[in-house]
Structure 1
Amino acid sequence: MTNAAFEGLLLAAGYANSHAAFARQLNHTGRNEGAWRYDAASVYWWLRGRRPGEPVQAAMAETLARKLGRPVAIAELGFGASDSIGMCVYPVTVDGAIDTAEQIWTRLAKRLNQQASGAFDSGKALEAALGWRYDLPDKAVSRNGRQQVTSTDVQSLYALADHFTDLDRRHGSGSPRTRAVMADFLVRQVAPMLHGTYTDAVGRDLMRAAATLSGQLAFMSYDAGEHAMAQHQVTLGLRLAKAAGDRLYGAHLLANLATQAVFLGHAREATRLAEAAIDGAGRAPAVALARLYATAATAYGQSGERRACQLALTKAEYALDRMGTDPGPRWVGYFSPAHFAGAALRCLGDLHLYTQALRHAPDALNLGSRNTRTRVLHTALIATTHARAGDTDAACEWASKLGQHAVGIHSARVQQRVRELATTLSSQQPSPQVNETLHTLAVVPATI
């Protein structure tokens, strides 16, 4: 659908057949923001509904005002209210990705103490997967802007990403404080770097680092229950990973999107996202393949595809056996036999294969000390699986461990897992033990 308001302004200003001329004037107007490189194709996509960042819209209004001889309000451009964050559109160009990054990071930083959530859009998720998988690679990402960016600058971003990842795993992301700090950092430090000056090699590494940070913020938003924001950040991360030429990290992000779809009950879409991740990963280290196949197994389990689920588990286990001394990329170093066991426990339980599922229970808790949230998630899952299998004594025994493990964890996912356990136990035969456990579970979310 054409943006009629923007099209009308271009016509009135004499740019109807000169989109390239408008883009050149826009680049000149925005020279203080860095070296913008918009062209006629950029104008085409804006007319077709792509929403540029707020600084770009301001420059558009200024450019049109000079030609029209009157003030032009940003609202006249027809790009919609700035609070609309649920589009989750995969940016076509690198410039579009940079503008989108600045826009959504700024918006998130402005609503630090508010829920910025909305609905997960499975259609947009699949569109992003297609764009990431099949769009042509970017020929160059070098840029000339106000700030010189070096390899050393980029390496500092990876260190910050590791720090935020550690905080997330230890404490969860339900509290807005960590996300607020991260969003502010992205706005103040990373966005100016993306608008800076860098060579193609440094630029691709910068895109990879920005994708890593966006992916971490996406996972934190998902853990906090802000699903539209999480999806938007993953979509942005996919585009930045594409610009970096990092297929493997893009596959990892797509698997995260599949995991989110499983959590929200979009089973069929989750299987397609997981399949696209595996297909797009190419040649991958064993640990990365193990993670991707484990994700696929959880999607197949939820959708009831028993054969596909068990095949994916077999492939994941085989990949784990081949890990050897190759740790893989830094972002997949967390994945261990315990994480595989948790995935197996989940998907086999979804298939009602409770005996098989519970064989993985001991391994699912063989976690490092930093994986506090995962330990709570797996403990609740073991209890729920016992309850679904009809063993209320074991379920109650495992449930009793949740209170001590969950203290200090701020996570919507943990709260959801506790609610699932309580719902499952509520359907069992009433007994003093079950009633006492339900009472205990009722106060667990208050400690999270």
Structure 2
Amino acid sequence: MARPVTNSTFEELLRAAGYDNAHAAFARQLNHAGRDQGIWRYDAASIYWWLRGRRPGEHVQAAMAETLARKIGRSVAITELGFGAGGGIGLCAYPATVDEAINTAEQIWTKLAKRLSQQASGTFDSGKAVEAALGWRYDLPDQTVSWNGRQQVTSTDVHSLYALANHFTDLDRRHGGGSPRTRAVMAEFLVRQVAPMLHGTYTDAVGRDLMRAVATLSGQLAFMSYDAGEHAMAQHHVTLGLRLARAADDRLYGAHLLANLATQAVFLGHGREAARLIEAAIDGAGRAPAAVLARLYATAATAYGQSGERRACQLALTRAERALDRTGTDPGPRWAGYFSPAHLAGAALRCLGDLHMHMQALRHAPDALNLDSQNARTRALHTALVAMTHARAGDTEAACNWSWQVAQHAARIRSARVQQRVRELSTTLRPQQASPRVNEVLQTLAAMSAAS
């Protein structure tokens, strides 16, 4: 069943220009109008989605207004097209085509690079997140992603992008994603180096690997933005990454990105939407390697735990544990290697705590802290979770002991997520602030938060 038109203003303009039953013809004229940029390949499907709520870039809208004006015989303002005001980054629609994803990516990278130390506006849109999951899971595959543009792109060029992604991943895990300068530098590289590659000349095989590499970079930038508390920016980048992973025909990395989106939804309290997202990821991953399945089921457990679905949560934990046991013989892609028994234990600590099963949750505490040195942020997050779980279990003495460690670990990390968990820990301890020791801990945590 076709989706209903939501942009009736644009529909009326198409009708006035004689394109109401000739969407492909309008797309061809639009491509002709954008020929100087050498990057547009819109078709009737693009028009379909624009009529149903998706928003093209502002430069594309200018060409649309020009194309319509020639047929109608009068000037058409961009504001007449019905797409709403631009300039924000909160629109997290899943792009209908690869070309739209590339155009949107370049726009958002440019805005991020220019913003430098400013903070983004906008909030997480759980409805758009579910739409992106459905688009990734059910849209038809791209027949080809080959392209003829300004510069030749080779496999060697693409492999250099993976090295860059690894570098930023390591920085993020060690120091957190809270530095706006780091994200701006990454965005500037994407604008100057990666965008021209996307607009270059490449075969279908090289193009799919390029889409996979850029999806990896977009996913990393999304996670850094999420860690910094810029949730609209994070959602936009992970949505772009999902579309590019789809173009790369890499269902496993797409499932990983969707799990990241579900993790963000859990952090923001959207447990039921997170469950839908991770269910789509597990379904789309199919017969995935054990390492990928372990991560997906661990994320599912946290979503079910927050939603109060005890049976589903415990079943997901069991499946994650069984999958993790098989990773020695079924390791999967290299990017999945980060997920360790400590990460699974952290998920168990979180979801069992959400279900008020505090003593069962604390059984996972030793494993949750058995982390490599480069996982500084995860150590801070897990330590705070251990302290909070002790407090909720009624062991104030143990909670204070762990809170001192939280202060030591968190002081070295720039992460909005770590700061949020510190605030949750303080809120949990506050009813006991009459105790001199608890009061001292609260003052230390407050001073640390103020200094960050």
Q: For the superposition of Structure 1 and Structure 2, which TM-score range results when normalised by the shorter chain?
A: over 0.9
Residue 104 of structure 2 aligns to a residue in which SS?
Answer: helix
Aligned residue in 1 for 2:323: 319
Structure 1 residues 296, 16: CA separation in 2 closer, same or farther (over 3 Å shift)?
A: closer
Please state if 1:366 is matched with 2:370. Answer: yes
Please state if 1:39 is matched with 2:52. Answer: no
Distance 1:313 1:213 in 2: 29
Runs of 5+ in structure 1 lacking a partner? Answer: none
Aligned residue in 2 for 1:231: 235
Kept in 1: contact 2:46–2:96 (CA 8 A): no
Aligned residue in 2 for 1:134: 138
Alignment root-mean-square deviation, CA: 2.0
Residue 332 of structure 2 aligns to a residue in which SS?
Answer: coil
Residue 374 of structure 2 aligns to a residue in which SS?
Answer: coil
How many residues of Structure 1 are paired with residues of Structure 2 in the alignment?
Answer: 448
TM superposition score normalised by structure 2: 0.93
Kept in 1: contact 2:147–2:199 (CA 8 A): yes
Flag as ranges the 4+ runs of structure 1 deviating above 6 A. Answer: none
Match of 1:381 among 362, 380, 385: 385
Structure 1 residues 76, 188: CA separation in 2 closer, same or farther (over 3 Å shift)?
A: farther
Distance 1:17 1:289 in 2: 46
Aligned residue in 1 for 2:157: 153
TM superposition score normalised by structure 1: 0.94
Kept in 2: contact 1:33–1:195 (CA 8 A): no
Aligned-residue offset at 1:5 = 4.5
Distance 1:178 1:370 in 2: 18
Cα distance per residue 1:298-352 (max 9 Å; x no partner): 1111111222111111111111111115542222221111111111111111112
Pairing 1:3-22 to 2, within 5 Å after superposition:
3-11=7-15, 13-22=17-26
Distance 2:25 2:294 in 1: 51
Give, as a single letter, the amino acid of the residue that structure 2 aligns with 1:96.
E
Aligned-residue offset at 1:8 = 4.8
Match of 2:113 among 105, 109, 125: 109
Aligned residue in 1 for 2:443: 439
Pairing 1:408-423 to 2, within 5 Å after superposition:
408-423=412-427
Kept in 1: contact 2:39–2:99 (CA 8 A): no
Aligned-residue offset at 1:220 = 1.0
Kept in 1: contact 2:245–2:254 (CA 8 A): yes
Distance 1:329 1:131 in 2: 24
Structure 1 residues 133, 18: CA separation in 2 closer, same or farther (over 3 Å shift)?
A: closer
Kept in 2: contact 1:26–1:59 (CA 8 A): yes
Aligned residue in 1 for 2:397: 393
Distance 2:12 2:113 in 1: 33
Residue 441 of structure 1 aligns to a residue in which SS?
Answer: helix
Distance 2:31 2:433 in 1: 70
Please state if 1:27 is matched with 2:19. Answer: no
Match of 1:341 among 324, 345, 353: 345
Aligned-residue offset at 1:386 = 0.6
Aligned-residue offset at 1:7 = 4.2
Distance 1:109 1:138 in 2: 30
When structure 1 is superposed on structure 2, of 148-157 and 112-121 the one drifting more is 112-121
Give, as a single letter, the amino acid of the residue that structure 2 aligns with 1:271.
A
When structure 1 is superposed on structure 2, of 385-394 and 10-19 the one drifting more is 10-19
Kept in 2: contact 1:341–1:360 (CA 8 A): yes
Aligned residue in 2 for 1:182: 186
